Amino acid sequence: MLCQSGDKPWKALVMPMSWRGGGQKDEFLDVIYWFRQIIAVILGIIWGVVPLKGFVGIAVFCLINAGVLYLYFSSFQQIDEEEYGGTWELTKEGFMTSFALFLVVWIIFYTAIHYD
């Protein structure tokens, strides 16, 4: 079995789910939060290896992070944003922690590879 009932990551990536109901809303917000953290780690590694610097790196991270999440919940999952307080509430869910994680990973990889 690829997707079991309690397996959030597989449910989130394999198929659009019905995220209605009391516990399902919190579960969907958890999926959004952890999906954003995964994006932060991946982009932090890429930015550190590429050697991207400064405001451009931060701005591109913000655009990609928000854009990918918006496409995920509006196109792939096709949820009603108003059930969660609007598009802005879903877009900012877990953003600051993912931003901090992105910065830490970016700095570590950049320093490890490019510092003289």
Q: What is the pLDDT of residues 21-74, one digit of tens each?
A: 556 777 878 888 888 999 999 999 999 999 888 999 999 999 999 999 888 888
* pTM of the shown model: 0.80
The residue ranges of every structural domain in the chain are 27-75+86-114
pLDDT at 3: 47
Q: What is the pLDDT of residues 79-112, one digit of tens each?
A: 777 777 887 888 888 899 999 999 999 999 999 9
pLDDT at 11: 58
- Residue 62 near residue 1 (C-beta atoms within 8 A): no
Q: Is the dihedral of CA 52, 112, 102, 26 positive or negative?
A: positive
Distance from C-alpha of 42 to C-alpha of 27, rounded to nearest angstrom: 23
